[in-house]
Each structure stands twice: as C-alpha cells, then as structure tokens.
Amino acid sequence: DAGVTQSPTHLIKTRGQQVTLRCSPKSGHDTVSWYQQALGQGPQFIFQYYEEEERQRGNFPDRFSGHQFPNYSSELNVNALLLGDSALYLCASSLVGRASGEQYFGPGTRLTVT
Amino acid sequence: KQEVTQIPAALSVPEGENLVLNCSFTDSAIYNLQWFRQDPGKGLTSLLLIQSSQREQTSGRLNASLDKSSGRSTLYIAASQPGDSATYLCAVIKGGAQKLVFGQGTRLTINP
C-alpha cells in the first residue's frame, strides 16, 4: 500500500520565479492538504482540496494556489517567489467522512529560494 | 483562534529514562489530537491519534493522554532509546474541514 508521495524532493528557485510541487495521496484517500514548515517551526496549513475544489484555506496570499485532479493527486503552485517562501512543503492525505480524521504525511519538498 | 504550545522546546535525557512531552491548546472544542515524529529534514510520521471521546492511546513504549477540559495532552515515552531522538509535534483538529493546527515541537535528544 503506497503512502503519500511528493515530488520533487528538493528544488532551488530564484526570486520572482514560479514553482509547482506535486503530491499523490495514500491509496484510498480522497482529500489532500498542503502545509508549509519553516525551519524550526511547526507546519502551517496552506489549503485543503476535496472533490477537485479548495475546501479550506489558511492565511496565505493568493500567490499560493492549488489543484486537485480526478485521481485525487494534487499540485501546489507558488508564483512570484520570495525569499521567505523557502521552507519544507508537506502534503497530507486523509479520507473525508472518516471519524478519526487521521492525516498521513509525505516526505516533503524542500524549496530554497535564492 | 486555536493556538498550540509545546514545552519544552528542547529536551536532552540519558538513554533508558522515561520522559513526558507536553502539549497545550487554547480551544477545547477539538475533534482529535495527533502526535507526530519528525526526523531532521524529513516528513511527519504519525505516532498516535486520540479522538475527543478518548482519554488515552498506547502504542508500544508510547502513551498519549488527552484532557480536553484543561486543554492538555502528554506523550509519555518509556525506556527511551537513542533512536527516539527526533522532533515531536502535536496537532489538534476541529471537526469539519480537518485542518491541523500544530505546536512548534519539542526537539528530543537521547544520549547513549
């Protein structure tokens, strides 16, 4: 049973550029959430996708956008990159309607903006 | 607004000791609480999930408790080992959209 996978593992971009990160949820899961984790901090919720729509959004600017595909995989796009966007980006999957609401995380994508 | 605090930020103990990590949250109307482990530069590994109707959960040498009324959870690690060295994060979730709110974590070092 494949867990949550993310690609790429590492990424280096220049300020002002755009980046796309990808996530495949755990088999059987239909909901994908994205989190940003700055060094030494806990993860911060960016947004959540279910049924190909953004279901909830955290306190992040519109430069952060996403998409969910019919196979439940998801992309996170960040435009006009800033130095402060350097972080570990984590994807989590879960199953809507499951009482426990347990979330499973992928290995993350380390984004460095120079 | 839900806030989650973990104290201490860092902890160093000798191998074999039993230890307790603390997590507190401001809004008691949570759906469940999840404890995670994170190795440096890696993703999160779920350790234990406690639903709001439960008081504790156990997995091997780990035991997590939840007291919603006081807004507290503890993670007890028995007979600590060097392999337990990692950052431990707690997160709470409210019903509905399943958004996790995390603490900043406790960085645990077990010295051989």
Is A40 buried (19+), middle (13-18) or exposed (0-12) by CB count in 10 A? exposed
pLDDT tens-digit map of B18-69: 999 999 999 888 888 999 999 998 999 999 999 888 999 999 999 999 999 9
H or E stretch at A37: strand A31-37
Per-residue pLDDT at B52: 86
The position carrying tokens 């709110």 is B101
Region B83-98 average pLDDT: 87
Q: How far apart are CA A52 and CA A72, in angstroms?
A: 7
Is A105–B93 a contact, with Cβ atoms under 8 angstroms apart?
A: no
Pairing state between β A5-7 and A19-24: antiparallel
pLDDT tens-digit map of A10-56: 999 999 999 999 999 999 999 999 999 999 999 999 999 999 999 88
DSSP state of A92: E
Per-residue pLDDT at A98: 67
Per-residue pLDDT at B72: 95
Q: How far apart are CA B63 and CA B20, in angstroms?
A: 9
Is B43–A110 a contact, with Cβ atoms under 8 angstroms apart?
A: no
Mutate one of B52, B89, B99 to test the A interface: name it (highest A CB count within 10 A).
B99
Q: Is the dihedral of CA A107, B6, B34, A46 positive or negative?
A: negative
Residue of B nearest to A88 (CA): B41
Is A99–B51 a contact, with Cβ atoms under 8 angstroms apart?
A: yes
End-to-end CA separation in angstroms for chain A:
37
Label residue A102 by pLDDT band (50, 70, 90). confident
Is B98–A40 a contact, with Cβ atoms under 8 angstroms apart?
A: no
pLDDT exceeds cutoff 80 at A2: no
Instruction: Provide residues of A within 8 Å CB-CB of chain B.
Output: 4, 6, 31, 33, 35, 40-45, 48, 55-56, 58, 88, 90, 92, 94, 96, 99-108, 110
Q: Is the dihedral of CA A27, A32, A36, A37 positive or negative?
A: negative
pLDDT exceeds cutoff 70 at A100: no
Half-sphere exposure of A100 (CA within 13 A, CB side): 12
Cα B69 → chain centroid? 17
pLDDT exceeds cutoff 70 at A99: no
